Amino acid sequence: RGPDRAWHGDMLDGVGFVRAMRQAGGEPAGERALLIGAGGAGSAIGLQLLDAGVSELAIHDMDAGRRDALISRLSAAYPRRVRAGSTDPDGFGIIANATPLGMRAGDPLPVAVEKLAPGMFIGDVITAPEVSPLLEAGRSLGCKTQTGLNMFLAQRELIVDFLEGKPV
């Protein structure tokens, strides 16, 4: 409850993703980011990446309407820094998969992994398998990566901080 006695809620997908990214050696500030997935988790991650200082955020979602709605919402706060993207990761420093792609054997990869390059940071939200095929592809090139489990653990830290009255 807030000071106004009303209930307030929030989610930790975005801040958890960025905290886990930083814990894994990544830093969003100044980077170009490609976000795959414009649902709830993707929306939160996109906003937090912008809040953390990415220079550009390109968003791809199989549902163009959902993608465009998120671009519109984020562009209101961050004009000229958000645009539509594709599955081509070329030229991006951060690749964020906020889709369930990779959870099941036979799922298509969320990006064109043949265009991944060393130096990219790749984060995934799925927790099982812990190392998704996308992360495996990135790790084989020497990319820094963050698993969905890393994100979950960062979210758990944030929940504990909140419950203990620490700033989150």
pLDDT in tens, 107-124: 999 999 999 999 999 999
Q: What is the mean pLDDT of residues 139-154?
A: 97
Q: Rounded to whole angstroms, how far apart are CA atoms 118 and 7?
A: 45
Q: What is the mean pLDDT of residues 41-55?
A: 98
Q: Rounded to whole angstroms, how far apart are CA atoms 92 and 59?
A: 12
CB atoms within 10 A of CB 90: 12
**94: helix, coil or strand?**
strand
Q: What is the mean pLDDT of residues 35-64?
A: 98
Q: Which pLDDT does position 155 carry in this prediction?
A: 96
**71: helix, coil or strand?**
helix
Q: Rounded to whole angstroms, how far apart are CA atoms 28 and 59?
A: 15
pLDDT in tens, 77-107: 999 999 999 999 999 999 999 999 999 999 9
Cis peptide before 108 (omega within 30 of 0): no
